[in-house]
Amino acid sequence: MGKHPLPKGFLAGGIHCGMKKKRKDLALIFSRKRCKVAALFTTNAAKAAPVIHAQRQLARNGGARAVVINSGNANCMTGARGLKDARKTAGMLAELLGLGKEDVLVSSTGIIGQFLPMKILGEGLPRLVESISSKGLADAADGIMTTDSFRKISSRSFDIGGKKVRLTGIAKGAGMVKPDMATMLSYIMTDAEISREALKKALRSASEVSFNAMTVDGDMSTNDTVMLLANGEAGNRKISEKGKDLELFLKNLSALCRDLAKMIVRDGEGASKFIEVRVKGAKKKADAKRIAGSIADSLLVKCAVLGGDPNWGRIASSAGASGVKFDPGRMEITLDGVTFFRDGKVARNVDRKASSVFKKKNVRIEVNLHSGRENAVYYSCDISKKYITLNSFYTT
């Protein structure tokens, strides 16, 4: 079953149908039993057709048995025809799988402003259905990638009342080696028996500390989607909206989502270093996260990390620019374990050129506001010339 087994009752697969030149471009996730589904979608006003379609389906049904994902074409800015194509894709797949069309969700990622190649898709779907198996997860993970340089899978298992419950997820990143391709997609399967409200609560909560706490270039896609599918086959006592079982489920889901989020950041295009930003001692959690996000998004901070320059002034400035009110004199700034500012004073005058800070593959920025007890973490990466090259001169 490999390192990351599928939860009970799930099958997956992926094939190359011709939307992309060579790499796999179609993936399928299937469950023997109907799943409850919790999902989060982009808040972009220019939502892609499959996002609108999936939102409507889930508002109506709250569940599904299959998710089909294509890469290479985002089916975005494609108007009424795009929506019709998304419905048609779901319908064709439902027929092939012997399901109702309300049991199929669709997702897309790739270029904006082109219609889905329905003929190619129609020819590919039967082969896609044939490809699914209990060993097909890696192929599915490959099928959703656009310009990711490695596949992203993570899994967890834990006991609830003596029954083993599994969580297994795949993701694709915002590594935009080719233009127009900038979508974060993630699909997480579980065999847990869980109420839909608990499922939604867990996904929202886990995403806050993972997918919603990472940044590659600050751009938000039109197709971003995270889905959590639960088919209940583990036979555990039902996880409800409160209590220890939900806590355990959430703990494992959060760890899994953090795994995937970190992989996405590490695979950020042109990125050479992974950045963890920790903000401590804030009055409110939201403030801590906003400051961490402001530091993580700062181009000047990313450049400092790239250059191995412990430029703490940029970190103070980007924290201050977050919009959160705080006393900068109480700030403590520690980079890779070395404190640069504390008690209102410069703590250390380093020879920045000779410093060991920001020199490794993984760097850590810590800001303590010393004004409360709330913390937050944000994941980011540095920016390199390669990013500029990749996103500017795609034809050469």
Closest CB to a second copy among residues 253, 306: 306
Rounded to 5 degrees, φ, ψ at 142 are -70, -40
Residues 315-329 as b or e (16 or more Cβ within 10 Å = b): bbbbbeebebebeee
177 binds a second copy (CB under 8 A): no
Give the integer Cα–Cα distance in Å for 340 and 342: 7
Tokens representing 50 are 């499959």
Closest CB to a second copy among residues 13, 268: 268
The alpha carbon of 127 is separated from its chain's Cα centroid by a whole number of angstroms, namely 28
Residue of the chain from 25, 217, 233, 259 that contacts a second copy (CB under 8 A)? 217
331 binds a second copy (CB under 8 A): yes
Rounded to 5 degrees, φ, ψ at 67 are -130, 125
Q: Is 183 a catalytic residue?
A: yes
Residue 239 gets which letter from DSSP?
A: B
Check the CA dihedral 290-296-300-304 and report its sign: positive
Check the CA dihedral 302-271-260-86 and report its sign: positive
- Residues 109, 183, 215, 225: which is the catalytic one? 183
What's the one-letter identity of residue 161?
G
**Contact (CB, 8 A) for 19 and 71:** yes
264 binds a second copy (CB under 8 A): no
Which residues, 79 to 108, sit near a second copy by CB under 8 A?
A: 79-80
184 binds a second copy (CB under 8 A): no
At its nearest, how many Å lie between a second copy and the CB of residue 81? Answer: 9
What's the one-letter identity of residue 270?
G
Rounded to 5 degrees, φ, ψ at 156 are -145, 155
Residue of the chain from 17, 106, 304, 365 that contacts a second copy (CB under 8 A)? 304
221 binds a second copy (CB under 8 A): yes
Size of the site for a second copy (CB under 8 A): 69
Closest CB to a second copy among residues 256, 333: 333
At its nearest, how many Å lie between a second copy and the CB of residue 57? Answer: 20
**Token pair 């806050």 in the structure block, residue:** 208
Which residues, 14 to 73, sit near a second copy by CB under 8 A?
A: 43-47
Tokens representing 292 are 């961490």
CB atoms within 10 A of CB 144: 29
Closest CB to a second copy among residues 240, 286: 286
Binding-site string for a second copy from residue 127 to residue 166, where x marks contact by CB under 8 A and - marks none: ----------------------------------------
Q: Which residues pair with 296 in a beta bridge?
A: none
* Contact region with a second copy (CB under 8 A), list: 101-109, 186-194, 238-246, 316-324: 316-324
Of 387, 143, 378, 155, nearest to 261 (Cα)?
A: 378
Task: Give the active site residues.
Answer: 183
Q: Which residues bind a second copy (CB under 8 A)?
A: 43-47, 74, 76-77, 79-80, 111-114, 176, 179-180, 182, 217-222, 297-300, 303-304, 306-307, 309, 311-314, 316-326, 328-329, 331, 340-341, 344-346, 352-353, 383-385, 387-389, 391-395
